[in-house]
Structure 1
């Protein structure tokens, strides 16, 4: 056995959750080992829907353009009769209203195998890599580190070597069947429903409209879907229903026969079937998201139905939530007690996600009594609900209003009831998603010459390696020079400052980024009072950490981050 290797952080699992955590940590200059027990990447399409909230996080991480380049836009759903006959087209996903505060009003679709490749390429650019064929065998937690034993396979013809890795913290995104949650002694609460199955596969199809998600059959017996996925001519197979055969196909011939039996098609050929898989309903939630220095993310913490396209998105949001907090702690600028808020913030969101996806799952597997495709029978309300995806699933309302580290001064609006998928009041509060705003004119260093500037969006100024302090002054004199100078200490360690002016006033600069809100979209989106202005702290995950009428709220928030506040309990470092 070789001598122990030391590192700041070990990331176990290289699915979307693990890769997002790795990118966020690398953007924060945190050394990380990314291990994956598979010898090669998974090639199955699996989850495809990327919700608008996740697209915003991709933008903060700097990977959005790469993801959009391999994505497909929202589909119309084509309900088929026999073969190519289309009985009905419907738009099944609700979209957000077009707004300067929402940059991405609709979801996009990308196969998980392609998304993982894009994220790995970004990790390579950051100077790290995923280590395939490396399995976590065991781990022990100590006062200041986690000691892991790794099995490293370099060839199927040679015995694996063993390495001891000592890390400060560990993130486990090793899936529902992973070893870490079990070794921590955590329960995985929920149920497995063996009779509720879905068959999936990758196939190639030529001559089928790629602007539609094609559906044949009936949920009450057997349904078969073909969803177009990049790159062409790839489609994802999804088949479900009580009349599916007990033995599901494993090759192209068998998949074709199953498709023909459900669709009645004679002229649609499925080619090169691969990554065939049978999913059984396994809906569970760990009783904790962390133990000591080990944190669970994604399927390692929660197993869910694919209905509604929530699980993969929730997993990636888990990872960003813990990653930025770990980065601040490892950089020595935040108290270790900050890490306790990972579970406090994410557990209610995950529980709500499981509730919503399970409700949609139940509609598909239990309540359908008539064919969704029979034009002779009226569509009852339950059937209409099956494929309907409400705006709530866009995840733009996901919030942490109850968190002990969000601080707000909201006058008489004191609603802090937990509503993890929706704000619960019309007033923007600390803990909510930070709205975008556009167009803004960047006059930083432009001598207030508004004609020589370019328009930007507010979200384009957010990054995962810094907080952003937004100052909305009514006049150039609203910012106390002494207080602003004190901000520089925070800026040097944890944040950047952006001044947002209602108009291109002659502004005495304070050596910070300055934007002009020419259409007042930022002032409107952030509910800035006309009489007082506002001070807002936006966290690295795009959540409002603090909102108030004076700069004191900013100092209070960062005192909480650094442990100089009673709002966070003490945690051993």
Structure 2
């Protein structure tokens, strides 16, 4: 075996999965087709729920240092700002998470941070390894490479994007729809003449599509996004971007001083027919593609990895039954389907960026891993994300941090988000089991390998 788990693709989901597995003592190898990490700002918005995940994975301090808050949107018309508005609906006062609002970090920087953490934990990334096919047997997966070599692992994970070679090798279909036939350009550029305190919005005019320029926190660049008429061949060159900016704003072509990365695409929403085939799993864009509106893609992808990581770790290192791995698709595919719908509605102007996009309300209420035994549940139910709170002097997100399960008992004076009960919190921060007492808890833990949870001092 070359590894316990082979992850194909060194994007955010592949690297996050690598980090989660490495901290569990799983031998993980990430194979990336490119010669290095992919460039470009791409998914730049990190939602509060993903910030909690990054906190647990040990990278949140670096993410904080690398980025910044979203600026106000400034709408331009005839060379002047005519209005300013927040890019997201304001968050409500909520002590259930230390992270209330999205944080902006260019995707290339997020990948660097995750790679550094993976290597710190002893994980490995092998660049220049293009996958061309795979085969499975009863014990392992053999992945074929373009250079004629092979890699063999007990499990493999396709985290290799919307054109996933792993998904193609499995023959897994991907059904979906075109969200918008008008192509989009996205590029990382240097621009003079725009302040860095606003997200600069240039609305459509006539047959000309919109253009926005967002300052990328922690850099001197802007992310430029522009919409074109259906059938347009988008020019990705520096001269093409300069012509675009001069035509759609008050800026001159020469105000665009550098172009470091550019891409074009047509927004589409599609969902893989299945997220698992035997010993192979799909995460991130390999499993779902979508409009970037709402900033859901990178976040849903990282959370795919976070769901799968503890389950692979439990099977490979914790003695859990292999059936536990069936719950990955069961739990994540419905979440991805809902995300596709939300992103499409936001793209079409039918929904706003608000509480749903922060992803703190996501959960697994109907999962086979969810057991609620209290006759009258309180505000927190099995399947919900376990919120932060102060219990007997312990901050719960601090108690949850790490690859373990956590057992929390609360009484009548329990924090308002919880209510009274006994809560077994999964390694990914969701309540797996809840009951009035610990009766029945042992039967539940047997399904997941009988972990010994960390106990939080009881709140009475």
> Under a length normalisation based on structure 1, what TM-score does the superposition of the two structures give?
0.75
The CA deviation at 1:96 is: 2.9
1:533-572 paired onto structure 2 within 5 Å: 534-562=421-449
CA spacing shift, 1:219–1:143, aligned 2, 3 Å? farther
The CA deviation at 1:553 is: 4.0
The CA deviation at 1:68 is: 1.0
Does the Cα contact within 8 Å between 2:18 and 2:123 map onto a contact in 1?
no
Question: What corresponds to 1:499 in structure 2?
Answer: none
Question: What corresponds to 2:354 in structure 1?
Answer: 390
Aligned-partner SS, 1:541: coil
Does the Cα contact within 8 Å between 2:383 and 2:432 map onto a contact in 1?
yes
The CA deviation at 1:253 is: 2.5
Pick the aligned partner of 2:418 from 526, 536, 546.
Answer: 526
Question: What corresponds to 1:469 in structure 2?
Answer: 407
CA distance in 2, matches of 1:219, 1:557: 60
Question: What corresponds to 2:99 in structure 1?
Answer: 104
Question: What corresponds to 1:485 in structure 2?
Answer: none
Question: What corresponds to 1:66 in structure 2?
Answer: 62
CA spacing shift, 1:232–1:181, aligned 2, 3 Å? closer
Question: What corresponds to 2:156 in structure 1?
Answer: 170
Q: Which deviates more from structure 2 when the two are superposed, residues 15-24 or residues 352-361?
A: 352-361
Does the Cα contact within 8 Å between 1:398 and 1:433 map onto a contact in 2?
yes
The CA deviation at 1:438 is: 3.5
* Residue deviations 1:330-352 (CA, integer Å, cap 9, x gap): 01421100000001111111110
CA distance in 1, matches of 2:318, 2:66: 38
CA spacing shift, 1:98–1:268, aligned 2, 3 Å? farther
The CA deviation at 1:412 is: 4.5
1:54-453 paired onto structure 2 within 5 Å: 54-83=50-79, 85-151=80-146, 160=147, 162-192=148-178, 195-218=181-204, 221-242=208-229, 246-266=232-252, 269-363=255-349, 388-412=352-376, 427-438=379-390, 441-442=393-394
The CA deviation at 1:268 is: 7.8
Q: Which deviates more from structure 2 when the two are superposed, residues 210-219 or residues 58-67?
A: 210-219
Does the Cα contact within 8 Å between 1:82 and 1:265 map onto a contact in 2?
no
CA distance in 1, matches of 2:292, 2:43: 7
Aligned-partner SS, 2:2: strand
The CA deviation at 1:193 is: 6.3
Does the Cα contact within 8 Å between 1:402 and 1:431 map onto a contact in 2?
yes
CA distance in 2, matches of 1:266, 1:437: 52
CA spacing shift, 1:294–1:254, aligned 2, 3 Å? same
* Residue deviations 1:366-392 (CA, integer Å, cap 9, x gap): xxxxxxxxxxxxxxxx7xx6xx31211
The CA deviation at 1:312 is: 1.1
CA spacing shift, 1:78–1:337, aligned 2, 3 Å? same
Q: Which deviates more from structure 2 when the two are superposed, residues 34-43 or residues 218-227?
A: 218-227
The CA deviation at 1:33 is: 0.9
Task: Count residues with an aligned counterpart.
Answer: 450
The CA deviation at 1:560 is: 2.1
Does the Cα contact within 8 Å between 1:337 and 1:563 map onto a contact in 2?
no
> Under a length normalisation based on structure 2, what TM-score does the superposition of the two structures give?
0.92
CA distance in 1, matches of 2:409, 2:205: 53
CA spacing shift, 1:192–1:473, aligned 2, 3 Å? closer
CA distance in 2, matches of 1:179, 1:45: 23
Aligned-partner SS, 2:340: helix
Does the Cα contact within 8 Å between 1:188 and 1:284 map onto a contact in 2?
yes
CA spacing shift, 1:95–1:540, aligned 2, 3 Å? farther
Find out whether 1:14 has 2:13 as its counterpart.
no
CA distance in 2, matches of 1:164, 1:435: 44
Aligned-partner SS, 1:523: coil
Question: What corresponds to 1:39 in structure 2?
Answer: 35
CA distance in 2, matches of 1:209, 1:544: 45
Structure with max Cα Rg: 1
Gapped regions of structure 1 (runs ≥ 5): 152-159, 364-381, 414-425, 443-456, 475-501, 503-521, 529-533, 565-573
CA distance in 2, matches of 1:165, 1:25: 18
RMSD in angstroms over aligned alpha carbons? 2.2
Does the Cα contact within 8 Å between 2:314 and 2:449 map onto a contact in 1?
no
Q: Which deviates more from structure 2 when the two are superposed, residues 5-14 or residues 30-39?
A: 5-14
Aligned-partner SS, 2:335: helix
Q: Which deviates more from structure 2 when the two are superposed, residues 24-33 or residues 181-190?
A: 181-190
* Residue deviations 1:21-74 (CA, integer Å, cap 9, x gap): 000000101001110001122111111111101101111111111111111102
CA distance in 1, matches of 2:382, 2:417: 13
CA distance in 1, matches of 2:254, 2:402: 46
CA spacing shift, 1:20–1:410, aligned 2, 3 Å? same
CA distance in 1, matches of 2:411, 2:87: 43
